[in-house]
Amino acid sequence: MSKALVTGGAGFIGSNVVSLLASEGYDVTVLDNLTTGYQKNLDGLTHVRLIRGDVRDAESMADVMGGVEVVFHLAAAVGNTRSIARPIEDAEINAIGTLQLLEAARRAGVRKIVCSSSSAIFGELKSLPIREEHPAEPDSPYGVSKLAEEKYCLAYARLYEMEVICLRYFNAYGLNQRYDAYGNVIPIFARRMLRGEPLTVFGNGEQTRDFVNVHDLAHVNLLAERARGLSGAYNIGSGEYVTINSLIEMMSEASGIVPVVEYVPPRKGDVRHSRADISKARETLGYEPRVGITAGLVEYMAWARAEAI
C-alpha cells in the first residue's frame, strides 16, 4: 500500500483527491490546519488520518513526512482578491510553506511531489488558448506566489532525486467547494441564488472562464502520481470556456432559480479571458476531462442546496 501525504487535504480540491486515493488503496495522511478545510469532508474514508498542522511549520512537516512516497501539495492561500488584501500571508503560505515542504520531503527521501498551481501565474493573457509557454506575468500577489511555488518545485526536481509535477488549475468547481467571499464565482453565485440574493457581476459579464470540475482535478492528480520519470508543469482545465453571463443561465437551469443580476465596474487583478490548452497534459499524462459543465453544475447545485452553503 503506497503511503501518500496530502497537504490541505480537508479542503475543497484536497478532500476530493484524498477520496480518490483512498478508493485506489493508498494509505493517506492529511495535513491541514482547518482554516479553510473541514474535517467532515473526510468522514467515512478508510486508510485516512488527519493531522492538524501547518505547512509553514518545519517541525510539523518533518513529523508527517516519515515513510511517505508521494506528496500531493494542495495547502494554499487561494485567490487574487484575497492576496491583494493579505499579500504577506499569501506569500508565507504559498512560497515559504512550499519551501518548508520541499526541504522536509528532500530530507525524507520522498520520490514524487504533485503540486497544485494556478493559471493565475499568467496574468492578463496575450493569446488563447493558453499554452504552458505563455508569458508568466501575474497581476496579483497570488499569481506571484504560485509562480514562486512552481519555480521552487521545479528547481528541487533538477537539484535532487525527486520528481515534481506542477498542475496549473484553471477555474475549479465542484463538490465540497463552500462559499468564500474571496473565492470562486460559482460558490458565490450558488450561495446568493439559494438565499434569493442578487448576483454581482464585475464588468459586462462577457468575460470568459475555463471551468474544470473537481472530479477531473482529482483524476489528473492520480495520473501525475503514476507518471514515472517525469517532471514539469501542465495546464489543467476543461479546454473549453463560457462567459459569466452564460454561466448564470446554466446555474439557473441547474437549480430552477432565476436570479436578479447587477453589473458593476471590473475589479483590479481579474483577467478578461481564459481558456486552457490541455494538449500537453492530454498527450503526456493521459488527461481527458470527463465532466461537462452542465452535468457538473447540476451535481454542484444539488450539493450546495443540501449543504446550505
pLDDT digits (tens, 9 = 90+) for 88-118: 999 999 999 999 999 999 999 999 999 999 9
Supply the pLDDT for residue 251.
Answer: 98
Q: Is the dihedral of CA 149, 151, 155, 161 positive or negative?
A: positive
Q: Does the pLDDT at position 181 exceed 80? A: no
Rounded distance, CA 190 to CA 250, Å? 11
Q: Per DSSP, which regions of the chain are E strands?
A: 3-7, 27-32, 48-52, 70-73, 112-118, 163-169, 171-173, 199-202, 208-209, 211-213, 232-236, 242-243, 261-264
- Whether residue 267 contacts residue 122, with contact meaning beta carbons closer than 8 Å, is answered with no
Arithmetic mean of pLDDT over the chain: 96
**With bands split at pLDDT 50, 70 and 90, how would you rate the model's confidence at 85?**
very high
Supply the pLDDT for residue 272.
Answer: 86
- Whether residue 32 contacts residue 12, with contact meaning beta carbons closer than 8 Å, is answered with no
CA 148 to chain centre: 16
Asked if the peptide bond before residue 141 counts as cis, ω within 30 degrees of 0, the response is no
Q: Where do we find the cell 514524487?
A: 112
Rounded distance, CA 92 to CA 77, Å? 9
Q: Does the pLDDT at position 61 exceed 90? A: yes
Q: Is 240 helix (H, G, I), strand (E, B) or coil?
A: coil
Q: Does the pLDDT at position 213 exceed 80? A: yes
Supply the pLDDT for residue 308.
Answer: 85
Q: Does the pLDDT at position 215 exceed 90? A: yes
Among the CATH numbers 3.40.50.150, 3.40.50.720, 3.30.420.10, 3.90.1150.10, which is that of 3-172+213-237? 3.40.50.720
Region 177-190: mean pLDDT is 91
Q: What b/e sequence results for 54-79 when a residue is b if at least 16 CB atoms lie within 10 Å of its CB, and e otherwise? A: bbbeeebbeebbeebbbbbbbbbbbb
Region 203-217: mean pLDDT is 97
What the block records as the C-alpha cell of 151 is 519555480
Q: Assign residue 67 a region (left: φ > 0; alpha: ψ between -120 and 50; beta: otherwise).
A: left
Residues 6+ apart with CB under 8 A from 59: none
Q: Does the pLDDT at position 268 exceed 90? A: no
- Whether residue 212 contacts residue 169, with contact meaning beta carbons closer than 8 Å, is answered with yes
Question: Closest Cα partner for 106 from 163, 165, 162?
Answer: 162
**Amino acid identity, residue 37?**
G
Region 290-308: mean pLDDT is 97
Residue 276 DSSP class: B
Region 3-30: mean pLDDT is 98
Rounded distance, CA 276 to CA 122, Å? 11
Stated pTM of the model: 0.96
Catalytic, out of 26, 38, 142, 287: 142
**With bands split at pLDDT 50, 70 and 90, how would you rate the model's confidence at 80?**
confident
Region 47-64: mean pLDDT is 96
Rounded distance, CA 106 to CA 132, Å? 26
Supply the pLDDT for residue 309.
Answer: 85
Percent pLDDT > 90 in the chain is 91
The more confidently predicted of residues 218 and 81 is 218
Supply the pLDDT for residue 125.
Answer: 83
What the block records as the C-alpha cell of 72 is 500531493
Q: Is 266 helix (H, G, I), strand (E, B) or coil?
A: coil
Supply the pLDDT for residue 159.
Answer: 97
- Does the annotation mark 26 as catalytic? no
Residue ranges per structural domain of the chain:
3-172+213-237
Q: Does the pLDDT at position 1 exceed 80? A: no
The DSSP bridge partners found for residue 262 are 200
